[in-house]
Structure 1
C-alpha cells in the first residue's frame, strides 16, 4: 500500500560515492536529493561504504552495502588489464560490468526480496548503472510483487562520429565497434518490459529504446549541480582579451587540441587567453603547440573549488568534445553564468541553445576548428551577448538542473507510478 505522505523508495545504486566523480557521484547525489522527497534507503556496493559513513549516513538505517566483490573485483582487474591505459577503453569497463553486475542484484534480492514482496517498499528505483547495456534481473522479480520498478536515468553509447574514427582508435575503444550487439543480451527486453517507467538521460538513449517500450520513456538528463559546489557566479574582466576556459581530461575525443588550434591566431595576437583545467595523455603535445608566453595556462587537475574559481573568471567555456554522454562540465559552467561553446552533438548539444550559449556543427576536424575559430573571433570582436546568455544559462540550471530540482521532477514520476501507471502515460519531467 502506498504511503499517504512521502513514498518509501528503495534506491538501488551500485555506484554511489560522495568522494568520487562521474557515475558514482551521480548515483550518490541523486540518491541524497531523492531523500528530500521520499523516504529513501540506499542500496550500494560495499566499496562505497566507508565514504558514505564519512558523509554521515547510518549503515542499516540510511543505507545498505552489498558485498559483491567475489565477482566485481576480478571483473574490474580484467577490465583494467584489457583497456590498456588509464582513462581509455571505457566500453571495455562497461562490458565487464555487464557480466558481473547481475550477481550484485541477486544479492540485493536475497537481502530485500522478502521486504519487497511483503509491501514494505512503495517503489524500487534502480539509479545506477547508468549504462543502457546492463540489464536488471530485479525488474521482473519486483514486477511480480506488484511494486513499481523505475529504471534510470540511462545514458551512454553515443555513436562515434565517422570523421573521428582515428580518435576512437586512440581511445582504444575496440569494443565500441560491436556495441550494438548489446540489444541481444539476455534480460534486456525483460528489463524494459517489466519497468514501470524508463528514465532516459539523453535523446539518443531514448531513441534506442524499442518502440514497444517507448510509451514509458521519460527524458531527464542524468547530470545535476550541487549549488554548494558550483553556484557562486563571478564577474569576468570587463577589459583585456577574451578569456576562454576548457575543463576536462586531455584526451582526443574531448578536443582540447582542436580548441587550441582554433584559438591560436587570437592567442598569438594577444586578443585571447586560454585556461586549460585538466590532465591527461595529450598534455605534452598541447604544451608544445601552445604559443610562448602567458596566453595559455595549464592548471592540471584541480579540486572542485579551484575549478570553480578558474572557470568563473572566464568569459566563455570552450568545450569541443565530439562524444559526450551527459555534459556535466557544461552544466557547471552554466551554473556559474559562463556561457558554453560546444559541438552540437550528444549531451552538450541537448543542453545548450542560442539562448544559453553557442554551438558549432558536428563535421570533421577541419570543419570544427574553422567554426570554433570563427565564433571565437566574433566574440573577441564583440562580447556584448555573453552576459545575457550567461544569465539565461544560470537561470536554466537553477530551475531544472540542481539535484533538488531533479528530485522534485522525479517525485512527480513516483506519484504517477503509485496512482496512474497503466492508465496514463508518464508525465513529462523536463521541457526546454
Structure 2
C-alpha cells in the first residue's frame, strides 16, 4: 500500500512533562506523527500537559477519562509503596486490573470508526509491561485492521544473590511474576496482534514460540537530539570524574558504586557526582562520608543533568535490574561512555566499543569488577574519548526518536501489505 498510513496511537501513559514510561509514550507518539497521520488516545491525566505542548484536543489527540478505576488503583499503589517509589511490580499488577476499563472506553469512542476503515493501523504503545493484556486486540483484529503491540518490556528476573535488595524494594509480587503468563487475555492479545514489538531480548524470549515469527526487537527508549544537545567536555587532566544518574533505590546500585570507588575517592584520584534522590539518600551520604569526593546533587532540571553528565569522563551506572536504561542512552548521546552491569537493558545497549561492562555476578563480584575498571581508568583514561565518539554515533544512527519512527513506518507498511514475506527486523545487530 502507498501513502502515509492513518494510525490510531493508543498510549494511556503519554506526558511530555513526566519521565519514564509517560515520556516514552509521548516521545514515540510524537515521532510517529512525522511518518503517519496519527491521532493520539491517552488518559485524561495527561490532557493539560499535552495542551501546553501545543496539540489540539479533538484534532490531534483525545483524552479518555478512566479515573473512576484508574484513580483508586493509583492511590492504592501509593499506599502499598509507602511513598518511597518501591514495589514496581505491585503498581503493574494494579494497573493490569484497572487498565482494561481504559481500553473499553477507547473502543466505545473509536470502535465504530475503526470498523468503518477510518484507520489503517491501531498501535498500542503503552502500557509497556508485557503483563497487561489488551482487550482491544481481538476487537480491532476482528474488523480487519492490523493491531500493533508494543514496545513491550519488563519482567527481567532478579539476579541471584540480590534477594536482600529485592526485599528492600518490596518486590514481593516478583516471586510470582511468571503467573502472568496464565492470565486471561494474554494469549488472545498476542494471537490477535499483527506485530509484537519487544523492547528487550528478554521480553522477546518470553513470547511463546508460536508467535515468534511476528516479534520484532525494538528497544523502548530513544533520544531527542534537541533535548540532548550538549557534548562531553570533561577535562583531560585531574581526577577521573564519574557520574551516576537515577533514583537512589537498592537495585540501581549506587551503594556498590561508592563502595567500589572508596579507595580512589579517598586518594583524590576520582570524583563522583550523584544526580537523583530516593529512600537510600541518607544512607548513601553516610556511606560516602565527609571526604568530599562525592557530590550529591539531588534532583536537577533536565538542562542541569546534561551539564553534570557532559562534564564527566563516564557514566557509572551499576543497576542490576534495568528494563530499558534510558539514562545510558542519554549519556551516550552526549558522548559520555557508560560503565554498566552486563545485564538486561544496559547490557543490550552498550555493545563492544561504545562503553564498558562488568559481569552480573554476586554483589562482591560486581564491586570488585567495578573497582578494577575504575582503577584502570584512573591510571589511563585515554581510551574513553574513542568510546564516547562511538557511543554518540550509535545513538545517532539507531536510537533517536526520528530513527525509531522510521523503523516503525517500515512495520506499518508491512502490516498493511500482504504480509507473505518475513516481518522487517530493523533493529537486528
Q: What is the Cα deviation at residue 291 of structure 1?
A: 4.2
Match runs of 1:227-306 below 5 Å = 227-306=225-304
Residues 41 and 63 of structure 2 are in contact (CA less than 8 Å); yes or no, is this contact kept in structure 1? yes
Aligned to 1:431: 428
| Alpha-carbon distance in structure 1 between the residues aligned to 2:345 and 2:23 | 18
Post-superposition Cα deviations, 1:304-329, rounded to whole Å, max 9, x if no partner, equal: 11000000010010000000000000
Post-superposition Cα deviations, 1:223-264, rounded to whole Å, max 9, x if no partner, equal: 011111113113110100100000001111000000000001
Q: What is the Cα deviation at residue 292 of structure 1?
A: 2.5
Task: Please give the secondary structure, in 2, of the residue aligned with 1:159.
Answer: coil
Residues 260 and 368 of structure 2 are in contact (CA less than 8 Å); yes or no, is this contact kept in structure 1? yes
| Alpha-carbon distance in structure 2 between the residues aligned to 1:265 and 1:382 | 17
Q: What is the Cα deviation at residue 354 of structure 1?
A: 2.4
Task: Please give the secondary structure, in 1, of the residue aligned with 2:231.
Answer: coil
2:159 counterpart of 1:161: yes
Aligned to 2:327: 329
Aligned to 2:61: 63
Aligned to 2:407: 409
Aligned to 1:180: 178
Post-superposition Cα deviations, 1:331-377, rounded to whole Å, max 9, x if no partner, equal: 00000000000000000000012210000000011000000000000
| Alpha-carbon distance in structure 1 between the residues aligned to 2:79 and 2:99 | 19
Aligned to 1:83: 81
TM-score computed with the length of structure 2 as normaliser? 0.99
Aligned to 1:376: 374
Residues 319 and 341 of structure 2 are in contact (CA less than 8 Å); yes or no, is this contact kept in structure 1? yes
| Alpha-carbon distance in structure 2 between the residues aligned to 1:159 and 1:325 | 10
- Stretch of structure 1 that moved more, 257-266 or 231-240: 231-240
CA 1:386–1:211 in structure 2 vs 1: closer, same or farther (change >3 Å)?
same
Task: Please give the secondary structure, in 2, of the residue aligned with 1:82.
Answer: helix
Aligned residue pairs, count: 429
| Alpha-carbon distance in structure 1 between the residues aligned to 2:182 and 2:75 | 26
Residues 267 and 291 of structure 1 are in contact (CA less than 8 Å); yes or no, is this contact kept in structure 2? no
TM-score computed with the length of structure 1 as normaliser? 0.98
Task: Please give the secondary structure, in 1, of the residue aligned with 2:9.
Answer: strand
Aligned to 1:135: 133
Structure 2's unaligned 5+ residue stretches are none
Task: Please give the secondary structure, in 2, of the residue aligned with 1:331.
Answer: helix
Residues 315 and 337 of structure 2 are in contact (CA less than 8 Å); yes or no, is this contact kept in structure 1? yes
Task: Please give the secondary structure, in 2, of the residue aligned with 1:163.
Answer: coil
| Alpha-carbon distance in structure 2 between the residues aligned to 1:244 and 1:114 | 55
Aligned to 1:320: 318
| Alpha-carbon distance in structure 1 between the residues aligned to 2:199 and 2:288 | 36
Match runs of 1:330-409 below 5 Å = 330-409=328-407
| Alpha-carbon distance in structure 1 between the residues aligned to 2:17 and 2:348 | 28
Task: Please give the secondary structure, in 2, of the residue aligned with 1:124.
Answer: strand
Structure 1's unaligned 5+ residue stretches are none
Aligned to 2:18: 20
Task: Please give the secondary structure, in 2, of the residue aligned with 1:162.
Answer: coil
**Structure 1 residue runs of 4 or more that deviate by more than 4 Å after TM superposition:** none
Residues 268 and 291 of structure 1 are in contact (CA less than 8 Å); yes or no, is this contact kept in structure 2? no
Post-superposition Cα deviations, 1:7-63, rounded to whole Å, max 9, x if no partner, equal: 000000000000110000000000000000000000000110111001000000000
Match runs of 1:114-133 below 5 Å = 114-133=112-131
Residues 8 and 39 of structure 1 are in contact (CA less than 8 Å); yes or no, is this contact kept in structure 2? yes
Q: What is the Cα deviation at residue 96 of structure 1?
A: 0.6
| Alpha-carbon distance in structure 1 between the residues aligned to 2:188 and 2:15 | 29
- Stretch of structure 1 that moved more, 140-149 or 81-90: 81-90
Match runs of 1:197-208 below 5 Å = 197-208=195-206
